[in-house]
C-alpha cells in the first residue's frame, strides 16, 4: 500500500476495508515524536490521542477515507507559550483540514480548469464528489502570485457584457501569460497599474486611444507598439467600404449590352445630409480632442454610443458619405437560368417561379415578374444580366490576401474587376504595398505610403492614412519592431472560454484568479 501511495509512507496501515462506495484505511503515525509548530523543539511526551478522518484520491473508483490515529504532545520548552500541540504528518495533514494536500491539489486543478458546476460533475465521476461552491471557494483561497516587473506589456479589452461593460487584460509578452486583469478599460486605470508596477519598456496595444493615453501617463518612457493585426483589420474595413461604394464595377458586362440601372438619388456629397454629417463629424472629433470619452459625447450630443464610435473611427467625413448602391438580391444567382429559359421561349413568370423554387429560390413571384417585364419591353437584354457579380466581401478578401494565396479563378476575376475600375486599381496597389510593409516590417516606408494614400482619389484610404498619422509613433513601431499583440489576443480567447464555462456570471475576483492561475 505504501508503495502504491507514497504520500502515505509516514503511516503504519492497520487495516483496509470496503464499506459501500468507500474504502476505509485505518492507520497510525509511525514517527516517535513531533516538533512544536511555535518553537520547533521536538517532543515525545504524549498528552492524548484522537482520530482524524481525511479524504484522499479515489482507489478503484471508490471514495478513499483515511482514519488516522494522531497524538497530541506536550511542549517541554518552558519559554514557549504553547503547552500542547497536535502532530502533523508531512505531505498528508494540515491543521483543521479534512482532505489530504494531494486531493486538495487535484480539486484545485479541476476548479481552475472547469469551474463550479462542470467541475462538480467531474468530481462525481472521479469519486471525490464535492459541491460547486466548495470548488469556487478553493479557487478563491489560492494565492495570486506577485506580478513583479513586466518589461514588455500587452494590453487589450474584453467584454463582461458585450456593448456595455468591458475590462482589460494585461499580458507579460515575454512569457505569454496574463499578468493581471482590470475591472474596466479606462485610461486612468491602466495608467495607475503601470505606476504600481514600474519598469515597463514596451507597451503593445490596439488602436484604441484609451490605452494610448494610459501608457503615456503611466509609463511615459515606454515605447508604444500598435498591433499589426489591428492595423490590417482597420485597412480591411477601409477597403471593404471602397468595394461596396464601387459595387457596380464588380459585375462582368459587355459595354454594348450593359444598360444603366436606376439608382437611389445622391447629392454628390453636397446636400443637406452631407452637410449634417460633416458638422456632426467635426463636433464629435472636437469633443474627443478635448479628452471627453465616448459615453460623455453620446450624452452631450444625444447620440447612440455606436453612432459616436462610427464617427470616431472615420478620420474624415468623406468616409461616411459613400454612395448608396442597390444591395444584392436573392434572384441574382438565378438570372442566368432565367435568361436561358427566356431564350427557349418560356416567358410565363408563374411557371418560371415554380421552376426556381426547385432550384432553391425563396423569393417572390413579383420579383421574377418585374425582371421579365424589363426583358419583355426591351429595356434590358437578358444577355446583359447573365453574369453574377461576386460579393463585396469576397472581393475585399482577394484584395487583402497576398497574390500567392489567391486561386487562379480569383486572380482572373479580380483582374477583370480592376480593368473596369481605376479606384479599385489604386486600392489594390496601395493595399499590396501596405501589406508588404506590414509583413516584412519595413516601417521606414510608412511616410511614403501615407503620402500616396492621401494623394489618391480614394477618400476611404485617405481617411485611413489620416488615422495612422494620429497614432504615428505607435504605428511605425508596430511596422518596425518584432513585438505584436498576438499573445494578448490568444489570452482574450482563453478568457472568453473561461467566461462561457461559468455562464458569464463569475464575479471579477473569481474570473481574475482563474485567468491568472490557469495552466
Average pLDDT value for residue range 250-263: 48
Check residues 274 and 383 and name the one with the higher pLDDT.
274
When pLDDT is cut at 50, 70 and 90, the band that residue 5 belongs to is low
What 3-state class would DSSP assign to 308?
A: helix
Q: Is the pLDDT of residue 390 over 90?
A: no
Check residues 6 and 270 and name the one with the higher pLDDT.
6
Check residues 78 and 263 and name the one with the higher pLDDT.
78
Give the pLDDT score at 253. 55
Average pLDDT value for residue range 43-48: 90
Give the pLDDT score at 209. 78
Give the pLDDT score at 329. 67
When pLDDT is cut at 50, 70 and 90, the band that residue 251 belongs to is confident
Give the pLDDT score at 110. 93
Average pLDDT, the chain: 85
Q: Is the pLDDT of residue 254 over 50?
A: no
Give the pLDDT score at 260. 38
Give the pLDDT score at 270. 59
State pLDDT tens for residues 331-354: 777 887 888 888 888 889 898 899
Q: Cell numbers at residue 248, please?
A: 457596380
Q: Is the pLDDT of residue 268 over 90?
A: no
Give the pLDDT score at 259. 39
CA dihedral 171, 177, 181, 184 (to 10 degrees): 40
Give the pLDDT score at 392. 87
Which alpha helices (H) appear in 142-291, and where do they start and end?
187-196, 209-218, 228-245, 272-289
Rounded-to-integer distance, Cα 14 and Cα 353, Å: 86
State pLDDT tens for residues 413-443: 888 888 888 889 999 999 999 988 988 888 8
Give the pLDDT score at 55. 92
Give the pLDDT score at 72. 92
Give the pLDDT score at 377. 73
Give the pLDDT score at 264. 41
State pLDDT tens for residues 311-325: 887 777 776 775 544
Q: Cell numbers at residue 31, please?
A: 514517527
Q: Contact at 8 Å (CB) between 46 and 32?
A: no
Give the pLDDT score at 316. 76
When pLDDT is cut at 50, 70 and 90, the band that residue 480 belongs to is very high
> pTM value?
0.70
Give the pLDDT score at 115. 87
When pLDDT is cut at 50, 70 and 90, the band that residue 493 belongs to is very high
State pLDDT tens for residues 58-108: 988 899 999 999 999 999 888 898 999 998 888 888 888 899 999 999 999
Region of 124 please: left (phi>0), alpha (psi -120 to 50) or beta: alpha
When pLDDT is cut at 50, 70 and 90, the band that residue 125 belongs to is very high
When pLDDT is cut at 50, 70 and 90, the band that residue 479 belongs to is very high
Give the pLDDT score at 196. 92
Secondary structure string (H, E, C) spanning 429-479? HHHHHHHHHHHCCCHHHHHHHHHHHHHCCCHHHHHHHHHHHHCHHHHHHHC
Give the pLDDT score at 286. 87
Check residues 264 and 167 and name the one with the higher pLDDT.
167
Average pLDDT value for residue range 369-385: 71
What 3-state class would DSSP assign to 183?
A: coil
Q: Contact at 8 Å (CB) between 206 and 460?
A: no
**Per-residue b or e along 34-54, where b marks 16 or more CB atoms closer than 10 Å to that residue's CB:** bbbeeeeeebeeeeeeeebeb
Average pLDDT value for residue range 37-56: 90
Give the pLDDT score at 383. 57
When pLDDT is cut at 50, 70 and 90, the band that residue 306 belongs to is confident
Amino acid at each position: 500500500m505504501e508503495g502504491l501511495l507514497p504520500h502515505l509512507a509516514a503511516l503504519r496501515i492497520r487495516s483496509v476495508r470496503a464499506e459501500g462506495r468507500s474504502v476505509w484505511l485505518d492507520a497510525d503515525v509511525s514517527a516517535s515524536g513531533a516538533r512544536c509548530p511555535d518553537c520547533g523543539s521536538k517532543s515525545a511526551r504524549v498528552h492524548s490521542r484522537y482520530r482524524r478522518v481525511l479524504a484522499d484520491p479515489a482507489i478503484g473508483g471508490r471514495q478513499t477515507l483515511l482514519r488516522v490515529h494522531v497524538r497530541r504532545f506536550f511542549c517541554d520548552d518552558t519559554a514557549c507559550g504553547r503547552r500542547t500541540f497536535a502532530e502533523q504528518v508531512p505531505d498528508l495533514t494540515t491543521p483543521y483540514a479534512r482532505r489530504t494536500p494531494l486531493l486538495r491539489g487535484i480539486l484545485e486543478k479541476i476548479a481552475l480548469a472547469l469551474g463550479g458546476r462542470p467541475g462538480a460533475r467531474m468530481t462525481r465521476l472521479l469519486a471525490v464528489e464535492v459541491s460547486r461552491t466548495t470548488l469556487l471557494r478553493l479557487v478563491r483561497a489560492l494565492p495570486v502570485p506577485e506580478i513583479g516587473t513586466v518589461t514588455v506589456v500587452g494590453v487589450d479589452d474584453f467584454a463582461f457584457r458585450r456593448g456595455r461593460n468591458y475590462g482589460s487584460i494585461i499580458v507579460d509578452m515575454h512569457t505569454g501569460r496574463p499578468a493581471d486583469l482590470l475591472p474596466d478599460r479606462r485610461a486612468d486605470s491602466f495608467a495607475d497599474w503601470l505606476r504600481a508596477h514600474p519598469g515597463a519598456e514596451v507597451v503593445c496595444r490596439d488602436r484604441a486611444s484609451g490605452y494610448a493615453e494610459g501608457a503615456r501617463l503611466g509609463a511615459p518612457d515606454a515605447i508604444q507598439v500598435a498591433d499589426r493585426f489591428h492595423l490590417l483589420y482597420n485597412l480591411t474595413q477601409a477597403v471593404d467600404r471602397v468595394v461596396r461604394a464601387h459595387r457596380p464595377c464588380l459585375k462582368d458586362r459587355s459595354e454594348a449590352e450593359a444598360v444603366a440601372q436606376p439608382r437611389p438619388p445622391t447629392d454628390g456629397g453636397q446636400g443637406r445630409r452631407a452637410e449634417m454629417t460633416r458638422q456632426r463629424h467635426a463636433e464629435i472629433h472636437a469633443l474627443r480632442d478635448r479628452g471627453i470619452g465616448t459615453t460623455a459625447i453620446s450624452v452631450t450630443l444625444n447620440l447612440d454610443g455606436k453612432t459616436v464610435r462610427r464617427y470616431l473611427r472615420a478620420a474624415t467625413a468623406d468616409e461616411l458619405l459613400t454612395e448608396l448602391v442597390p444591395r444584392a438580391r436573392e434572384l441574382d444567382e438565378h438570372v442566368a437560368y432565367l435568361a436561358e429559359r427566356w431564350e427557349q421561349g418560356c416567358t410565363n413568370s408563374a411557371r418560371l417561379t415554380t421552376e426556381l423554387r426547385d432550384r432553391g429560390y425563396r423569393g417572390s413571384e413579383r420579383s421574377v415578374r418585374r425582371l421579365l417585364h424589363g426583358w419583355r419591353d426591351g429595356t434590358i437584354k437578358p444577355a446583359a444580366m447573365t453574369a453574377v457579380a461576386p460579393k463585396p466581401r469576397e472581393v475585399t478578401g482577394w484584395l487583402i490576401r497576398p497574390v500567392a494565396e489567391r486561386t487562379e479563378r480569383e486572380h482572373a476575376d479580380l483582374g477583370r474587376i480592376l480593368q473596369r475600375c481605376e479606384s479599385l486599381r489604386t486600392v489594390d496597389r496601395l493595399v499590396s504595398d501596405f501589406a508588404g510593409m506590414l509583413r516584412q516590417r519595413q516601417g521606414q516606408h510608412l511616410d511614403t505610403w501615407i503620402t500616396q494614400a492621401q494623394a489618391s482619389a480614394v477618400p476611404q484610404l485617405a481617411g485611413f492614412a489620416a488615422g495612422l498619422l494620429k497614432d504615428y509613433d505607435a504605428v511605425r513601431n508596430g511596422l518596425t519592431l518584432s513585438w505584436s499583440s498576438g499573445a494578448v489576443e490568444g489570452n482574450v480567447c482563453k478568457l472568453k472560454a473561461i467566461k462561457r464555462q461559468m455562464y458569464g456570471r463569475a464575479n471579477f475576483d473569481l474570473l481574475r484568479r482563474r485567468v491568472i492561475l490557469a495552466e
